[in-house]
């Protein structure tokens, strides 16, 4: 017995985006389990920071306690 499941092109696009997000988080050293606690805005901020590092435009400074608190909240 064969189950015929059809997927729309929207499904494929959504799966592709999800795969890209998982790949990017893994590249940053963040586990899938830990990423369950992220919202989309946090993810986008991480991507922006990574892009700054890659481009060489990173603004080097030590994290303050408020930076750490904001990241953990």
Render pLDDT for 49-68 as a digit per residue (tens, 0 to 9): 888 878 877 667 788 889 88
Q: What is the 3-state secondary structure (H, E, C) of the chain?
A: CCCCCCCCHHHHHHHHHHHHHHHHHHHCCCCHHHHCCCCHHHHHHHHHHHHHHHHCCCCCCCCCHHHHHHHHC
Per-residue pLDDT tens digits for 10-54: 566 666 777 888 888 888 788 888 877 878 888 888 888 888 878
Tell me the pTM. Answer: 0.48
């Amino acid at each position: 017995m064969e189950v015929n499941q059809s997927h729309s092109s929207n499904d494929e696009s959504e799966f592709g985006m999800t795969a890209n997000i998982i790949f990017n988080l893994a590249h940053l050293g963040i586990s899938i389990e830990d990423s369950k606690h992220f919202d989309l805005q946090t993810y986008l901020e991480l991507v922006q920071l990574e892009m700054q590092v890659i481009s060489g435009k990173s603004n080097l400074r030590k994290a303050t306690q408020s930076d750490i608190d904001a990241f953990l909240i």
